[in-house]
Structure 1
Amino acid sequence: MAVDEDWARVNMEDGRRLDFTIMINRKRFIITVLPNPYPDDPIAPLISRYAKSFMDNDEELDKAQDEIEDIIYDAGWRKFAPLAPGVERGPSNPPISLYSALNPETFYFRLVVDDGANADIVQEYPSRPLFGPGYITLNVTGDLPRYSARDITVTRKLMGTGYIGKVSADGQDMCCKVLVPNQVKAVQREYACLKKIADSQHAYSISALRLIGFVIDGGDDEEASIGIIEEYIPHTVTLGRLLKNTNTNTEIVTPERRRKWAEQIRRNIALLHDIGVLWGDGKPENVLIHSGTDDCYLVDFGGSWTDGWVDAELRETEAGDEQALTRILYFLGVGIADIKV
């Protein structure tokens, strides 16, 4: 089956029922998984493992989820395929609104396993949607412009957790981040950081995404803010990807360019700390190189940390940002003594 977008989310109820939300080619499939009344039921132990791992927050969670997903796909792909045909790519594709992307056509199924451990999925037709939208409202106030999700056109889904996309509104390219259940804190933190930057004396000196406005639902709750709109930085790759692809070619990434980027990253972090803002997840993949100016922009103020760049005990601290800076400079091949303060 040709898959355009494919991701899964799991909701758990009472430690027994799991509802898998799977996106395939812009269609949403919700598959309910319950234990079966057979002594050799293979599903019940997996649900128990998932529930225990969820409570203990350990690595077995992903393993149990993967095993259940494998059963779902093996049992259901023949039924999923005609409902979610591959999306043809090309200039003739009709544009899709952000509202449509966030509220796709939805199909409901239930996983069943007989006493011979043979799995199948059965389509169900509830009289009303069993789940609301896959996003929630943003707790913010402000006088920034508000853009209806119906008036925003999705240009490209960007990499990252949650819903992050390059979008177009009023003829302008922008970046959109929508609140999904597992990313509430990250988007709230990013909004707070960008707002603090915008209100500071360094607003025009810090190279970070500019906060433009809010996304409103555009549906039944028309005024509910469900995400933020940020400046889109034209770029082809991140700093991390650029250096990984060209690290052996000093003609493409000269020492002068590396030194310039190192100075810009160091200066931006110092200015952020001066106004009480922490970058958080500092790493080369969160540095964009502007296609027009060749300057560095720091992105992703959602917090967290990445192993190898920031130690867990230093996450979301000034010391953590400084550690990330030291490791980014090493990645760039630039010594701290080689750059201007």
Structure 2
Amino acid sequence: MTDTQASQEEPSCHVLDFFYDKTDSCALTALINGVRFHIIIDADEFKKSDDKSLLQPYLDLLQAVRNEEEEADSAEEKNDHNNLHGVEAAVETSPEDSRESSNSLEDRDSAIDLTADQDKLSKDEVESKRRRAKTELQNWMLSAFGAETERLASGAQRAKRKTMYDWYYGRTNFFELRIHEGILVPQQLEESAELREQMVALVPRLLLPKYIQNMDVPWLKPNDIEVISEIHDPGPSHPGEVKVGGDIQFFKPVDPSQSEPTKREIKILKDIADVGLHDEISVPRLLGLVALPESKTEIMGILLTNIPNAQPLTKLLDSDVAEERRLKWADDSKSIVQSLHKHKIVWGDAKADNFMVDEKDELWIIDFGGSYTEGWVDPELSETKSGDRMGLEKIVDALVDPDENTFDPEDEDEDDGDYSPPSGNKKRKRSTDKECDGEEEISDSKPDRTYCYCDGISSGEMVACDGDHCLQEWFHLECLGLTSPPKSDTWYCKECTTVAKKDGVGADGSRNKRRWRKS
């Protein structure tokens, strides 16, 4: 692609981060044509300004965001589910840059507009209203950036090669919005250590336990990875297809708020490779761990087999799709899950979104982060073979008879057509560890997930063994003869105590920290 071709393409804008605080200030971080902008509104400066013509419009927009956030939070508590917070932005450039505008929503100088794509992301009324309120404010802030976009982020920027280091740590243009003669005026700021740290904080990062650090999996530097494409839904935006050497791979960023699912997925993908399951089923290989710069213990994401032109099976649960294709996927899905179970591997979050169909119509299984999704697996069967079978049965039923056994995927937070394993802010939940009521037609009389010397389910107060490979992992205090959790930072069961002493760990807690929970 030439610079001329790139500059003629419609510009793009994607939100990376947005927040506001109790002082009425806010900040927006966005990629415009691949160039990062961080835009600040300091409410105190607006209030101190001689020109206060836009102060009230700003406060009204911000209050609308607050109101919709409160309404959405209330709805979330009532329905006990998580909503998607990422956003996808689209940019439209007006024929001319009219700096004479009033900066109202109807009259912008740049027409950088996030609205269209925001509306299509969700049909849920509360969530859609929240998105609209937030998008209105973001559009208002971006309305002043027509000239700055042309100056700093021309379309030619998209034609430039970019490494993953460039993507996450590249230059950021910092601006503060001021009011002058009734319009918003961007004032460029010098980069400071504080501002830079705010950008670094947006980089995904996860400290890995030693058992993963010691796995025979390549560690790669972000400088050695070229970004080919990006994923924008679900947000926040992140690199998607990447090139390592001459190979196209898929990058999946870690979610710091979902550390256990990431560790679970890495372990299971390694287990799948170790038992040779790639010869039996289509499942992405764990190709590498992307390290944070200068780190040997923290990663920003994992590299997986790229699935060409993949789309979620959910989008193919339709009677318009040929029955022959659907029945083949039904058979393949059963065979895949059976192969996993044969090797004592539990899929975890069993749902149609976690099957992908590639350009050759082959079915791939993805996402081994565990947990469960409402409507697919009951909470008490989370991360069990029984839960896998429950989700699989619903998938097969939907493939056999989509008209009778499917719902409108637009009513849920679905992925787009890209191979982008679902992130933690979907309606995935951690198990509440309730006892199985035994009403499901399953071959086991109790959940597969058991713990402790008693081989019982998770219940009451429990403490975790810090042994890297402990089979029981969690222990009931009652079974240990304890009335309260151990006071030391680390604790090992009888079987792991000898190993811990041999390894010289446990005395100072340098390997792990004691975990405790109460169900």
Secondary structure at the aligned position of 1:42 is classed as: helix
Alignment of 1:33-48 (within 5 A): 33-36=41-44, 37=47, 40=56, 41-42=59-60, 45-46=63-64
- Matching residue within 310, 313, 332 for 1:264: 332
1:297 deviation in Å?
1.0
String of CA shifts for 1:98-133, please: whole Å, max 9, x gaps.
Answer: 22122233122334569x8x7555433233324143
Secondary structure at the aligned position of 1:96 is classed as: coil
String of CA shifts for 1:114-165, please: whole Å, max 9, x gaps.
Answer: 9x8x755543323332414322333331231122211112222245445351
Alignment of 1:203-242 (within 5 A): 204-217=279-292, 219=293, 221=295, 224-242=298-316
CA RMSD of aligned residues (A): 4.0
Judge conservation of contact 2:289–2:299 (CA < 8 Å) in 1: yes
1:265 deviation in Å?
0.8
Question: Is the counterpart of residue 84 in structure 1 residue 150 in structure 2?
Answer: no
Question: Is the counterpart of residue 198 in structure 1 residue 267 in structure 2?
Answer: no
**Structure 1 partner of 2:253:** 178
CA–CA distance in structure 1, aligned partners of residues 22 and 358 of structure 2 = 48
Judge conservation of contact 2:61–2:136 (CA < 8 Å) in 1: no
- Matching residue within 191, 196, 205 for 1:126: 191
Alignment of 1:304-315 (within 5 A): 309-310=376-377
Judge conservation of contact 1:286–1:298 (CA < 8 Å) in 2: yes
Question: Is the counterpart of residue 138 in structure 1 residue 188 in structure 2?
Answer: no
Of 199-208 and 45-54, deviating more is 45-54
Of 100-109 and 65-74, deviating more is 65-74
Identity of paired residues, percent?
25
Question: Is the counterpart of residue 103 in structure 1 residue 177 in structure 2?
Answer: no
Judge conservation of contact 2:291–2:298 (CA < 8 Å) in 1: yes
**Structure 2 partner of 1:26:** 34
- Matching residue within 311, 324, 331 for 2:391: 324
Judge conservation of contact 1:31–1:110 (CA < 8 Å) in 2: yes
- Matching residue within 122, 127, 152 for 2:225: 152
Judge conservation of contact 2:251–2:301 (CA < 8 Å) in 1: yes
Secondary structure at the aligned position of 2:139 is classed as: helix
1:194 deviation in Å?
1.6
CA–CA distance in structure 2, aligned partners of residues 334 and 72 of structure 1 = 43
1:26 deviation in Å?
0.9
One-letter identity of the residue aligned with 2:36: R
**Structure 2 partner of 1:280:** 349
Judge conservation of contact 1:209–1:230 (CA < 8 Å) in 2: yes
CA–CA distance in structure 2, aligned partners of residues 311 and 112 of structure 1 = 52
CA–CA distance in structure 2, aligned partners of residues 312 and 12 of structure 1 = 34
One-letter identity of the residue aligned with 1:9: D
One-letter identity of the residue aligned with 1:7: V
String of CA shifts for 1:254-294, please: whole Å, max 9, x gaps.
Answer: 52x433321221122233345242330511x43223445x4
CA–CA distance in structure 1, aligned partners of residues 23 and 339 of structure 2 = 47
Judge conservation of contact 1:3–1:25 (CA < 8 Å) in 2: yes
Secondary structure at the aligned position of 1:264 is classed as: helix
Specify every segment of 5 or more residues in structure 2 that has no aligned partner in the other structure, as ranges.
1-8, 77-82, 84-125, 403-519
One-letter identity of the residue aligned with 1:234: P
Larger Rg: 2
Secondary structure at the aligned position of 2:143 is classed as: helix
Secondary structure at the aligned position of 2:229 is classed as: strand
Specify every segment of 5 or more residues in structure 1 that has no aligned partner in the other structure, as ranges.
336-341
CA–CA distance in structure 2, aligned partners of residues 172 and 161 of structure 1 = 25
Gap change, CA 1:76 and 1:122, over 3 Å in 2: farther
Gap change, CA 1:132 and 1:170, over 3 Å in 2: same
CA–CA distance in structure 1, aligned partners of residues 383 and 336 of structure 2 = 16
Judge conservation of contact 1:281–1:301 (CA < 8 Å) in 2: no
Of 190-199 and 310-319, deviating more is 310-319
CA–CA distance in structure 2, aligned partners of residues 192 and 249 of structure 1 = 35
More strand by share: 1
Secondary structure at the aligned position of 2:367 is classed as: coil
Judge conservation of contact 2:27–2:38 (CA < 8 Å) in 1: yes
Secondary structure at the aligned position of 2:206 is classed as: coil
CA–CA distance in structure 2, aligned partners of residues 237 and 96 of structure 1 = 26
CA–CA distance in structure 2, aligned partners of residues 48 and 95 of structure 1 = 39
1:302 deviation in Å?
3.6
1:170 deviation in Å?
2.0
**Structure 2 partner of 1:168:** 243
Gap change, CA 1:2 and 1:215, over 3 Å in 2: same
**Structure 2 partner of 1:300:** 367
String of CA shifts for 1:227-263, please: whole Å, max 9, x gaps.
Answer: 111122334544344555xx4363xxx52x4333212
Judge conservation of contact 1:259–1:334 (CA < 8 Å) in 2: no
CA–CA distance in structure 1, aligned partners of residues 335 and 280 of structure 2 = 9
String of CA shifts for 1:18-63, please: whole Å, max 9, x gaps.
Answer: 4322222212222234545489543663575478579868477874
1:308 deviation in Å?
5.2
CA–CA distance in structure 1, aligned partners of residues 17 and 153 of structure 2 = 18
Gap change, CA 1:211 and 1:171, over 3 Å in 2: same
